[in-house]
A and B are shown apart, each in its own frame.
Chain A
Amino acid sequence: MPSGQFKTSYRDDTKIFQTLWVKMWLALLMACLVVFPFFAGQYLLYLANLVGIAVIGVLGLNILSGFTGQISLGHSAFLALGAYASTLLTLRLGIPFWLSMPLAGLFSALCGLLLALPCLRLRGLYLAIATFAFYFIVEYSIVHWNSLTNGTGGLTVAEPTVLGFPIDSDTKIYFLILSLVVAGLIFAKNLFRTETGRAFIAVRDNDVAAEIIGINVVRYKILAFMICSFYAGVAGSLYAVTLSFIGPEHFTFLMTIEYLAMGLVGGIGTIAGSVLGAVFMTALPEAIRLLRDALSTHYPFLVSRMSDLQSGLYGLVIILFLIFEPTGLFGVWLRVKKYWLAWPYSYR
């Protein structure tokens, strides 16, 4: 924290962005993000869209697993539910995208509620297995409910419209996603500045104590599940629009692992960490690809082994972060910040 920063009201004290400098850097970042699509190529834009979707998805997972301490292995199921719900609402009922997307979020939240109810008394490994089972139920339904989901054939997603305005290019999707990312981040940040978010963390830290000081643990666990799956549902519907075609193969269990990896790498239980993790884990395969291309002339066998290498790499990254950097990239950021704040008298 910079010195000479004196707050004169409690409202100042709870502001998200405390100083003018932070606001200026943030404005600069926003400006960069706004002009980004006009300079970036097609592929980079597509990647940016995936990052944005991942940020929303990881935020949801972080609220449930990071902040409330309820581990979930069913995250890709919620993304699938959101993707299919919004796509089908548009295809079958002709509901425009700007309505079907929040409806998909709500539908996903409702499924989250249904999952939360039997899971209330479970924790740790048992909760992980229960949510894992939920994933298989959803996957099975998607594959076998042919009349609704067209099974493994998949669905072609209709072109989205927002208030009659067609979202027909990657650039437009980019701005749609960007605005939702910002909204999602602000919502989450507010949540953890107020009553609900504090109660979530209390449930994670010590649920017995939380209950005894008057926190209805059951209520907050259900809420966390619902908020998490709402975020995932919205992310899923955006994913569908970005891919413009969805099938069960897009929502594999590996996707859940990816999201968990993003949460872990970014920093569990931090909002900024969700962003860092999503950027890092989306950029990582690209970095590997570049590395592979650079090395392929000398080591051609690498090319054929690439897909194995990639899924193994997620595991490796998770393990390395757990051992060496359990607070994630956000923890690294805090440490670097602390170092420079105390510079040149930083002894650690």
Chain B
Amino acid sequence: MTEAVTLNVEELSMRFGGIHAVEALSFQVMQGTIFALIGPNGAGKSTVFNCINGVYRPSAGRMIFEDEDITGLGSHRIARLGIARTFQNLALFRNMTVLDNLLLGRNHYLNAGPIRGGFLTRRARKEEHEARLKVEQIIDFLEIESVRKQFVGSLPFGIQRRVELGRALAAEPKLLLLDEPVSGMNAEETEDMVRFILDINEEIGTTILLVEHDMGVVMDISDRVAVINFGVKIAEGTPQEVSVNPVVIEAYLGKGDKDQ
């Protein structure tokens, strides 16, 4: 494994009025690894994600993605650089088919524009055809062939999750941000999703930054884990190191009485 840093977050702070959602957070995600960000509810994990892909403009700090400073860039420009994301509560285009959702994930590879698209020139047609081929590979990979023409809004939650993952993959990202990819899923769906995440990491080689509450999943698949509480990083290390760290246990379970 190379030692290149894919994402370097330096002293990131995000304040909403008087609330310090994230305070001087630093971590590095190495290329090709799965990095998990965990912490109790309200710890600021999703805020970190929103800073990374430009939904929020951080109050302080820098984020470097492959030698490029992405702090304060617009969301669509960050996406074009190769950071894709899935959402905790899904953000799919519900009135479109699975196929169209996935094609939209590749939208920034398509440059037909309205004139060439409207007249459907040879070049626009070729572009669409190539996008379709690529998207079909992803449909195949995620095993959603049977629903490719269905409207996303009518699909079960677990499949919608997969479609959203597919949309992120269609962008061929270098870094994939997954916001609680298995929340609200049953054991079987969780198992499928974890298998997909591992496959993406191992076969495609995508670097993954993960926020997850399911500790079993986090401990099983992560290469490295950072724990945040009240916007401050309290621990970082391998899953084994973190799980026995007394500060982490205290943050999750509260302080015990030593005499008992």
What residues of chain A have their CB less than 8 Å away from a CB belonging to chain B?
A: 10-11, 14, 187-188, 190-191, 193-199, 201-202, 205-206, 208-217, 223, 227
Contact = CB atoms under 8 A, between A and B. Distances in A.
Interface stretch (B63-71, B72-80, B216-224, B236-244): B72-80
B62 interface: no
Interface of B: 53-55, 74-76, 79-80, 84-85, 87, 91-96, 100, 103-105, 107-108, 110-114, 117-120, 124-125, 127-129, 132-133, 136, 167-168, 171
B91 A209 contact: yes
Contacts of A199: 104, 107
B118 A191 contact: yes
A212 B53 contact: yes
Contact of A202 (B54, B104, B108, B119): B104
A10 B130 CA distance: 10
B1 to A, nearest CB: 28
A15 to B, nearest CB: 11
For the complex of A and B, 5 pairs with smallest distance between CB atoms: A214-B79, A194-B117, A209-B91, A195-B110, A205-B93
A198 B76 contact: no
B92 A216 contact: no
A227 B104 contact: no
A195 B130 CA distance: 12
B128 A211 contact: no
A297 B95 CA distance: 50
Contacts of B129: 10-11
A79 to B, nearest CB: 20
Most buried by A among B75, B103, B113, B171: B75
A150 to B, nearest CB: 35
Contacts, number: 110
B228 to A, nearest CB: 22
Say what secondary structure dominates the interface of chain B: helix
A202 B119 CA distance: 21
A194 B121 CA distance: 11
Contacts of A188: 118
B105 A14 contact: no
Contacts of B103: 198
19 contacts: A10-B129, A10-B133, A11-B125, A14-B128, A14-B132, A187-B118, A188-B118, A194-B110, A195-B110, A196-B117, A198-B100, A205-B96, A206-B91, A208-B55, A209-B87, A210-B104, A212-B54, A212-B75, A213-B84
B74 A211 contact: yes
A214 B171 contact: yes
B179 to A, nearest CB: 11
A193 B91 contact: no
Given A194-B120, A205-B96, 14 more contacts: A187-B119, A188-B118, A193-B120, A194-B124, A196-B117, A198-B107, A206-B94, A208-B91, A209-B87, A209-B92, A210-B104, A213-B104, A213-B168, A215-B76
B100 A196 contact: no
B63 to A, nearest CB: 15
Nearest to B168: A213
B120 to A, nearest CB: 4
A214 B77 CA distance: 6
Nearest to A212: B75
A4 to B, nearest CB: 17
A197 B100 CA distance: 10
A332 to B, nearest CB: 18
B171 A194 contact: no
Contact of B104 (A193, A215, A216, A223): A215
Given A191-B114, A211-B76, A205 B128 contact: no
A190 B118 contact: yes
A212 B118 contact: no
A212 B56 CA distance: 12
A217 B76 contact: yes
A151 B92 CA distance: 50
A195 B96 contact: no
Contacts of B76: 211-212, 214-217
A323 to B, nearest CB: 20
A191 B113 CA distance: 9
A215 B112 contact: no
Among B75, B104, B114, B124, chain A packs the most CB atoms within 10 A around the CB of B114
